[in-house]
A and B are shown apart, each in its own frame.
Chain A
Amino acid sequence: MNDAHSRPVTGHVPVLRLGDVLLVTLQGDLHDSTAQQLQQDLSDTIVRTGVRGVLIDISGVEIVDSFLGRVLAEIAAQAKLLAARTVVAGMRPAVAITLVELGLTLPGLSTALSTEAGMELLSQQAPASRAGGARRESP
């Protein structure tokens, strides 16, 4: 309990604005209430700034359970209603394997290998399509 290596994150997660995109970096073990707060903050910020994209970097996240999975899916759905695309970037292999085993494939979510790849995906402005880049449909 006294290990300080992955301090639980409480309160607000900083939301950075990079041009037309909101960048959120999640790290460590997220409190349920923090995740919910982030969902709220993101909606507010999208409305206030009118950005067209949201990039959530989860490369520093060690586990995604069904709660956080649902929060991510809901963020994407809400952003879509506000005309912004959401990309989740940098999911670790162990986290991806676990989510699949858990039964959560999060079909509505666009994903990217890294923040760079995510930015690239968001810059190919095609808000109408379900996903771009790595998730293009098979011809």
Chain B
Amino acid sequence: MHTAAGVEACLPIRSDMDLVWVRQHVRQAAARLGFGLVEQTKLVTAASELARNTLVHGGGGRMEATQVSGGGVRGLRLAFTDEGPGIADLDQALTDGYTSGGGLGMGLSGARRLVHDFDIDSAPGAGTTVRVTCWVSRPPRPREEA
């Protein structure tokens, strides 16, 4: 197993300065793992959206980055966790244009389209964890289209 240095990390998300660190860390980690420019940009953008959600809706939290591998393909997994109010209606939160925070309502639903795997864990009062994974090259089986 070869691990790329500087990929694994746990970053706090407490201010909009932290959003910048999150983006920079994700970009560097993705570059180290050999992501192409477009995939890097997609992943960094998704991370930015999710980190902002953590900050704005979850009242702050953290992002954990881990290197994963499966079927001979390397990937980067990011987990965004907050102890905020949680999401009551996940379907609604994942709908394009739905917003509770004055944005364009593209944060969660948009971020989902930018990554290969997306998984959300939330309940009212229990905080929210969003996990996303991007693979360096596409996973062996072609991704299903939405």
A-to-B contact residues, CB < 8 Å: 1, 3, 6, 8, 10, 29, 31-33, 62-67, 69-70, 92-95, 97-98, 101-104
Contacts and interface: CB of A to CB of B under 8 A. Distances in A.
Interface residues of B, number: 30
Contacts of B109: 103
Interface in B4-20: 16-17, 19-20
Interface of B: 16-17, 19-21, 23-25, 27-28, 37-38, 40-42, 44-45, 48-49, 52, 96, 103-104, 106-107, 109-111, 113-114
Contact of B114 (A32, A64, A95, A98): A98
Nearest to A67: B52
A126 to B, nearest CB: 28
Contact of A102 (B21, B23, B25, B114): B114
B103 A67 contact: yes
Given A1-B24, A32-B19, A66 B110 contact: yes
Contacts of A31: 16-17, 20
A67 B110 CA distance: 12
A72 B88 CA distance: 31
Contacts of B104: 66, 69-70, 104
